[in-house]
Amino acid sequence: MPLSQRQWIFLGVRVFVTLLIFATLMRLQGVGMMGGLLLCGILGVMWGGTLAGLFAEMVHDAFSPSAESCNIYREYSIAEARVKQGLFREAIAEFEKYKLEDPEGLTPYLRIADLLEDKFQDYPAAIAQLRSALPLAHSPKTFSLVQFRLADLLARANDDPRAALECLHEVQRKHPGTPQAAKAEERARYLLETLGGESAPSRDS
């Protein structure tokens, strides 16, 4: 927190008095150890509280979550609370509300897809949620995240490895030369083995 004008003035006076005492002690003859102890005591009285306060503030800033991070945590708290209560349809309804409140938010789509897949085994609806999320996934990281999950769901639950393979190649086409594209190529290679080496859709198509 920034210091107020009054606090700055008080701090300046402390610095001046400290320097004055230090200069006086240095000019005295035969000060020795007693003078050093006296100076340490004076500095401790004058600066102990201030330094302790600064240290406490540093620790607080380092280990306490910011307001922004708290807002992120609370953003989906109602829906996640419904999940913990086992109220999965109510949780989906809450996530649907978040989609309306933040049309660019990706998380509600992913969480709804999770719930549809894990709790209701409604794979077509889960796939539809992930496909709806793709226009919101602009970066290589988010785009590959959605496509990888979509590919996994298509191959594992929907028994459609060719469609899964197309999702992986889409990552390679849209974000070539990225770590995500390399990961997509690795996954595609594995899927090709499950297809028995059949021709995959072209990356350039």
For the chain, what is the mean pLDDT?
Answer: 78
Query: 95-152 pLDDT, tens per residue?
Result: 999 999 999 999 999 999 999 999 999 999 999 999 999 999 999 999 999 999 999 9
| Domains contained in the chain, number | 2
131 and 182 belong to one structural domain: no
127 and 148 belong to one structural domain: no
Per the model's pLDDT, the better-predicted residue between 15 and 185 turns out to be 185
* Mean pLDDT score, 37-59: 55
132 and 158 belong to one structural domain: no
Rg (Cα) of the chain, in Å, rounded? 31
H or E segment and range at residue 165:
helix 161-174
pTM of the model: 0.61
148 and 185 belong to one structural domain: yes
Last residue of a domain, one of 136, 168, 187: 136
Residue 128 inside a domain? The answer is yes
Domain that holds residue 102: 76-136
Sequence letter at residue 103: P
123 and 184 belong to one structural domain: no
Per the model's pLDDT, the better-predicted residue between 166 and 61 turns out to be 166
